[in-house]
Amino acid sequence: MSAPLVSRYQDLSREQLAVLVPELLLIGQLIDRSGMAWCISAFGREEMAQIAIEEWSASSPIYTRRMQKALGYAPITPGTGDVITIFKGLQLDIGAPPQFMDFRYTVHDLWHGEFHLDHCGALMDVEPMGEDYVRSMCHDIEDPTFDATAVASNPKAQVRPIHRPPRVPADRSPHCAWTVIIDEGYPDAQSTPALALIQATLAARIRLDPIDPEGDGNADYTGPLVSDLDFAAFSHSALVRIADEVCLQMHLLNLAFVVAVAKRAESPEQVHEIATKQLVGIAGVAAGRIHQALGTDAIETLALHPLLNPAAYVTARLESDSVAVSTSPAYADGAWISLCGPGAERPLQAIVQAVDPYLDVVVSGSDAEWTATLVRRDEPAPDAEEVAVTRFSSGVGFAFEPRRSLPITPV
């Protein structure tokens, strides 16, 4: 592949990046809060659960290995990682954003560990929906997807519950607890058939600039496992790469989501409708969190938004009042950006109106070569229905708190 474009995160300060990266991880978690509501409506609760299983199982092994390589903690021999490798991966996974999914880790030795969740934001979102939805998430979805994530490090790993919801008593804490055991006697975990489809995408194979080993801060995560990852301890170059990789996680998850929806949809039009609704919802919520975290204007928010990142995947040129988009690997994959353009302005509107409800976009050009120009309206736009649905999640208003980052040693 050709050399990647300079990251759009490059111009942020190290301090800004340390704020943005956990925001991006949380935004990735909220993709399902946007998408699954429309899957329930179209296919029912049980099929929604199967879509979730398939999308995470087909994407997380790919992006987990990418992050291992980027930050230098990949096992020397592929497939021989230990529980520390698995736990480090979870700390950099959109499936387990810090604090909102408050994983607490215990390492007994390299092959035996545990984790529990002191707070599970996903559970907080689902419990009001009733026990059937809790079981779908905490039993049907978690069992295969935890193993799929672990298998990226070692196919002999098994993640098994100690206890999990529905909570008895109703206020039980921690919310759940799990063992992680790697044993050569275990059968190899089996991958989902859709994994091969997602591995063939350009998103899975896109090359990003390596982390510069020079400069202040950590250029890798080769040191000890820590209780709470201190993003401020990473170097500027490492944080840029992490931000780009986290955006790729979102694209890979979305590509797997579309594959799973297409298996169940009545027509390509229904796939397009559900995919667009998912994008509009997460586009607005993501823009709101980025704007609030960094104080960005509409164009700056677009520049940092996962819709347009990483730059090596989505080709775009940003000016003071416009963004010009052209063909790119993301278009070839049918990623989010392919759902935007002339006559398909709603995802872009959701982004700019999260910053200022009086803003709008005028889009001109062709399907894959277009320019969106900011305009100001006389009346504020109402919330898009899809954004309002996504705001059901407690993650939309979640506030990160300062944490001490302490090394975890075997007990």
Torsion sign over Cα 49, 52, 54, 57 = negative
Give yes or no: residues 137 and 186 share one domain. yes
Domain that includes residue 89, residue range: 14-247
End-of-domain residue from the set 186, 215, 247:
247
Task: Provide CB contacts within 8 A for 169, sequence distance 6+.
Answer: none
- Distance, in Å, from the CA atom of 14 to the CA atom of 18, rounded to the nearest integer, reads 6
- Distance, in Å, from the CA atom of 336 to the CA atom of 245, rounded to the nearest integer, reads 16
**Residues across the chain:** 411
End-of-domain residue from the set 247, 277, 293:
247
In a domain, 4, yes or no: no
In a domain, 258, yes or no: no
When divided into structural domains, the chain yields a total of 2
Alpha helices in 295-394 (DSSP H): 298-304, 329-333, 346-355, 385-390
Of residues 90, 89, 95, the one with CA closest to residue 28: 95
Give yes or no: residues 320 and 191 share one domain. no
Whether the bond into 174 is cis, omega within 30 of 0 = yes
Residue 144 in tokens: 């295969």
pLDDT value of position 363: 98
Give yes or no: residues 175 and 219 share one domain. yes
Give yes or no: residues 173 and 297 share one domain. no
pLDDT value of position 149: 86
Q: Backbone phi, then psi, for 266, in 5-degree steps?
A: -80, -20
Give yes or no: residues 240 and 347 share one domain. no
Residue 263 CB coordination number (10 Å): 13
pLDDT for 155-212, tens place per residue? Answer: 999 999 999 999 998 999 999 999 999 999 999 988 889 999 999 999 999 999 999 9
Give yes or no: residues 274 and 243 share one domain. no
Give yes or no: residues 314 and 241 share one domain. no
pLDDT value of position 215: 86
- Asked whether the beta carbons of 251 and 203 are under 8 A apart, the reply is yes
In a domain, 411, yes or no: no
Give yes or no: residues 166 and 75 share one domain. yes
Give yes or no: residues 65 and 129 share one domain. yes
Mind giving me the DSSP string for 17-71? HHHHHHHHHHHHHHHHHHHHHHHHHHH-HHHHHHHHHHHHHHHHHHHHHHHHHHT
In a domain, 183, yes or no: yes
Give yes or no: residues 224 and 142 share one domain. yes
pLDDT value of position 1: 45
- pTM higher than 0.75, yes or no? yes
- Distance, in Å, from the CA atom of 308 to the CA atom of 313, rounded to the nearest integer, reads 8
Residue 116 in tokens: 């529990």
Give yes or no: residues 294 and 390 share one domain. yes
Provide the 3-class DSSP secondary structure of residue 361. Answer: strand
In a domain, 1, yes or no: no
pLDDT value of position 221: 98
Mind giving me the DSSP string for 253-312? HHHHHHHHHHHH-SSHHHHHHHHHHHHHHHHHHHHHHHHHHH---HHHHHHHSGGG-STT
Give whole-number Cα distances, 390 to 27, 42, 44, 102, 282, in Å: 11, 17, 18, 21, 7
Of residues 21, 322, 56, 309, the one with CA closest to residue 198: 56
- The residues of the chain scoring below 50 in pLDDT are 1
pLDDT value of position 4: 61
Of residues 120, 124, 137, the one with CA closest to residue 40: 137
Give yes or no: residues 381 and 331 share one domain. yes
pLDDT for 257-268, tens place per residue? Answer: 999 999 999 999
Whether the bond into 310 is cis, omega within 30 of 0 = yes
